[in-house]
Amino acid sequence: MPKTRVVITGAGVISSLAHNRQDLLAALLNRACGVRAMPEWADTLPPDTVAAPVTLDQDAVMKIDRRFRRSMGPAALFATLAAAQAVAESGLSEDILGSGRAGCAVSSTMGSASSIMESCSLLLQGRQDYISAQQFFKSAAHTAAFNVANAMGLRGVQLSPCSACASSLQAIGVAYEQILLGRQDVMLAGGSDEVTPSVTLTFQQLFAQAENKENRPPDQISRPFDVARTGLVCGEGAGIVVLESLEHAVSRGARILAEVTGYATMSSGEHISQSDQRAIGRCMTAALADADLRPEDVDLVSAHATGTRQGDAEEAAALRDLFGANTPVSSLKGHLGHTLAASGAIELVAVLEMLAQNIIVGTKNLTAAGPDCAGLDHVQANRPASIGTFVKNSFAFGGVSAVLVGKAFA
């Protein structure tokens, strides 16, 4: 039986640089950077700590009905605003959204970290009586999923695969599988995350956060694959795509942005934090096999590359083994920082716009590839290119790899 074809018919994004896909690509092409100093964290973290936070448009937030908004912490708000863009672009009717054949898979690392901190703070002050009825709903691990489902009126499946920084790509992968299995016609899929002192501290404690001993300006600190990289910079935001069976999309005359053709996710079986080129290689190979493609068919790898010394080297080694120096490789984390659980989805949304505008965004702050990241076709300056097929990588603590393969629709 031929495989069901799954297409993308809408894509929304909330990021530190822009609040829609087209503006995001324009900012990326302009080499803009969302990373800034965080004086508001001076009480808890070293004064030179940087991050890439989102500034929300409060008018857009207040347009969300209070009935839905009341249960949203930042993670759910970002996801809902991105989902609203994706649904509007896709032109899905209320009837389709509420048919039971439309569901969602939306993830975050740990729900709303800031809402969890709020609850803990009240508990530690002995103010249990001040804790809102909404605190659980803002904090819960699946807060982004159920808030999107309710705000969009979805009555189909609701999933929230939780795998730290691979979460949103896993969400898109599992949504793709729901449609392949014939269980759903439409899935809103992606992820969302918040940047907080506690999340940033986690990476600082593990020496994975960028150190900046050279006192570079904030926009030069996140340096994927670069010889001078010292670690990642945490960011936040959300990316949501509308996945749909080709048959369903065609039947309602939807505009198709791209097609998802392959997906794989797996464990390293080795270590909870050390990246592993063999595990990354196995996952990319499996995703390409799922898409029935060879490495030489790929026109762009949108790398996970967060700017850590070890993680980038392992990914580069896996890419070198599979693609050699023949396939363009780009990372967006120099511009956006590492948006954690949201990164796979946000970067996929950016890739969709690269497809539409026939250009690859060059990796910001990649001045000279580290010797351990060499031997690849690193895209440094923005490069005009017709992108037929792309690979999107996401890797996470816990030894999780997720790889999605897509292509321009034809």
Partner 1 sequence: MQPEDIIAAVNAVFVEQFEIDPADLLPEKEIFRDLGLDSLDIVDMMVGLQRTFGISLRQNEELRQIVTLGDLHAFFLKLVEENPDLAAKLQKK
Q: Which residues are catalytic?
A: 165, 304, 338
64 versus 298: smaller Cβ distance to partner 1: 64
**Are the beta carbons of 351 and 324 closer than 8 angstroms?**
no
130 versus 207: smaller Cβ distance to partner 1: 130
| C-alpha torsion 4→389→294→343, nearest 10 | -90
- As a whole number of angstroms, the distance between CA 214 and CA 227 comes to 13
90 versus 112: smaller Cβ distance to partner 1: 112
55 versus 128: smaller Cβ distance to partner 1: 128
Find where tokens 């990642």 sit.
Answer: 232
Contacts with partner 1 by CB under 8 A lie at 66, 70, 129-134
Q: How many beta carbons lie within 10 A of that of residue 61, not counting itself? A: 14
- As a whole number of angstroms, the distance between CA 76 and CA 16 comes to 16
| C-alpha torsion 159→267→377→210, nearest 10 | 80
70 versus 294: smaller Cβ distance to partner 1: 70
3-state DSSP assignment of residue 404: strand
**Are the beta carbons of 373 and 277 closer than 8 angstroms?**
no
Residue 68 CB partners (closer than 8 Å, separation 6+): 80, 147, 150, 151
Shortest distance, position 254 Cβ to partner 1, whole Å: 35
63 versus 255: smaller Cβ distance to partner 1: 63
Shortest distance, position 132 Cβ to partner 1, whole Å: 5
Shortest distance, position 138 Cβ to partner 1, whole Å: 12
**Are the beta carbons of 133 and 156 closer than 8 angstroms?**
no
DSSP 232-271: B-BB-EEEEEEEEEHHHHHHTTPPP-EEEEEEEEEE-SS-
Shortest distance, position 72 Cβ to partner 1, whole Å: 13
- As a whole number of angstroms, the distance between CA 329 and CA 249 comes to 31
Shortest distance, position 133 Cβ to partner 1, whole Å: 4
DSSP 3-36: PPPEEEEEEEEE-SS-SSHHHHHHHHHTT----E
Shortest distance, position 62 Cβ to partner 1, whole Å: 9
